[in-house]
Structure 1
Amino acid sequence: MVREPAAAGMFYPADAAILRQTVAQLLKSPEASIEAGPVKALIAPHAGYVYSGPVAGPAYAQLAAQAGTIRRVILLGPAHRAPVRGLALPEAESFATPLGEVPIDRDAIRALADMPQVVVSGAAHAQEHSLEVQLPFLQSVLRDFTLVPLAVGDATAKEVADVLEVLWGGPETLIVISSDLSHYLPYAAARQADQETVERILGYRLLDSFEQACGALPINGLLLAANRHRLAPKLVSLCNSGDTAGDRRRVVGYAAIEFMESQDSHDD
């Protein structure tokens, strides 16, 4: 069973050729550069590409050097469309975009089978855009990879972190957290609020409100796990819809943050 695209034609182009060209342009951002350490995890926004694509592009461009290594992506985002207790896996066996299908990692699904906070919900994924909009970037940068898509609903940071720990793996596994920042504040207020949120994330301080980030729950889980593994966080890009394609009276904030492996990461 294939989970068909729900956001194509709204959040990103539905035509494969146009989508491929759009993503290629976003990946060429001047902010994109290859860092010294491998990227183990990243936070990327999930609005329409015209709004948040200039922030997401540089984050995904960081992965170019690891394209031959990464074989599995653990993708977590907030459940916007259906109520979920815990973290929801899909019923589907693959996720489709105009660029093709990405298979679900069945071994990973089996590894999560005994975790009480992990459920299966086709409804949670059917119309969920937060996960889908990340896929064309991943399909454009990586080679063959499998996917573990998790729509995060009512879950504690520890419940999320425990799932990430089971799936952590090695350099073949990338973790992507899909989240926007503040919503619908005036431009200046959003800039201040989002800067404070980013500083909390970079300092491994858990978020305490969905007003800081709609993906606060998966972000907090990542912070617990990444801190334990001593990853090094770094801000790649930060702006809001008033900087890209929107009205500055009511903006949405976007950040791209990468978490890199350090020498200490391998001392456990």
Structure 2
Amino acid sequence: MHAVRQPAVAGAFYPQQGAVLAQDIRTFLAGVPADADTPAATPKAIIVPHAGYIYSGSTAALAYAQLAAVRHSIRRVVLLGPAHRVALRGLALPGDDFLATPLGEIEVDQAAVTQLAKLPQVVVSRSVHAQEHSLEVQLPFLQTVLNDFKLVPLVVGDASPAEVAEVLELLWGGPETLLVISSDLSHFLPYRTARQVDRQTAQAILDLRGPVSHHQACGGTPINGLLLAARQHGLQPHLLGMCNSGDTAGDKDRVVGYAAVAFIQEPSHAH
């Protein structure tokens, strides 16, 4: 009998009906401008937002659209997002064999789970994953843009950038492995202030300059680990787009910021 983590936020953050969900994601992806200023190479890593789709789906699609050329070759996705519900020291795996969405089930990469067992900062916790949305909202996008892949789902709590980078390093792999960091930017600032703060945060990410604080990005901890690893591996970040909830489906008094960033392997580091 295999253990399946059931969706917790279907019907809230995104549609519960599979057909409606699939159509929504196709619409978001189709909305990505064909002439967008996108990097020539496909990303090794992406940062994507994790709000309700009406708020941040269009921004997330900017990054997911970059994966079209590698949909057959990516076999493993290492997905990191911040803990919102349950306090956590380190990084947590769900202890499940599959993660379900209205689009079907995704198999957890048990070989990777075995590898991670030797790291003291990685724990197993069903309760951390049970109601957590930061990973879940990425799954339908991944199911849509990739063919056949296994997942390494990690909720990130209190951890150092080095501890996160060590996890990424262990699972870095080759072109078959994609790293996905799920993070929104600033929370509940007035529209103009948020734009200013988020621009500074985006610039820090583009400069590979951490640490990014939790006030700047709720997924600051996994972002900081990625920035460390990106410097180590010569990845170059490209900002694909940013906005906030005041631009999409919310008022402008208290907004949440979103960005899509792709990290590309620079040719000089490709060997």
Secondary structure in 1 matching 2:14: coil
Aligned to 1:3: 5
Question: Partners of 2:243 and 2:269 in 1: how far apart?
Answer: 30
| 1:99-152 CA distance string (max 9 Å, x none) | 000000000001111100000000110000000000000000000100000000
- Alignment-mate amino acid for residue 23 of structure 1: I
Q: Is the 8 A contact 1:31 1:237 kept in 2?
A: no
Q: Once the 2 structures are TM-superposed, how far is the Cα of residue 30 of structure 1 from its aligned partner?
A: 3.4
- Alignment-mate amino acid for residue 245 of structure 1: A
Matched, 1:206 2:216: no
Q: Is the 8 A contact 1:158 1:221 kept in 2?
A: yes
Q: Which runs of 4+ in 1 moved over 3 A?
A: 30-35
Q: Is the 8 A contact 1:102 1:147 kept in 2?
A: yes
Matched, 1:248 2:236: no
Q: TM-score when scaled to structure 2? A: 0.97
Question: Partners of 1:136 and 1:30 in 2: how far apart?
Answer: 17
Matched, 1:98 2:141: no
Question: Partners of 2:5 and 2:43 in 1: how far apart?
Answer: 28
The count of corresponding residues between Structure 1 and Structure 2 is 267
Aligned to 2:169: 165
Aligned to 1:17: 19
Secondary structure in 2 matching 1:17: helix
1:66 pairs with 70, 85, 91, which one?
Answer: 70
Q: Once the 2 structures are TM-superposed, how far is the Cα of residue 264 of structure 1 from its aligned partner?
A: 2.1
Q: Is the 8 A contact 1:28 1:58 kept in 2?
A: no
Question: Partners of 2:269 and 2:4 in 1: how far apart?
Answer: 36
Aligned to 1:153: 157
Q: Is the 8 A contact 2:81 2:183 kept in 1?
A: yes
Question: Partners of 2:258 and 2:46 in 1: how far apart?
Answer: 13
Q: Is the 8 A contact 1:45 1:179 kept in 2?
A: yes
Matched, 1:76 2:80: yes
Q: Once the 2 structures are TM-superposed, how far is the Cα of residue 38 of structure 1 from its aligned partner?
A: 2.1
Q: Return 5+ residue gaps in structure 2 as ranges.
A: none
Q: Once the 2 structures are TM-superposed, how far is the Cα of residue 208 of structure 1 from its aligned partner?
A: 4.2
RMSD: 1.0
Matched, 1:40 2:7: no
Identity %: 61
Secondary structure in 2 matching 1:62: helix
Q: TM-score when scaled to structure 1? A: 0.98
Q: Is the 8 A contact 2:32 2:65 kept in 1?
A: no
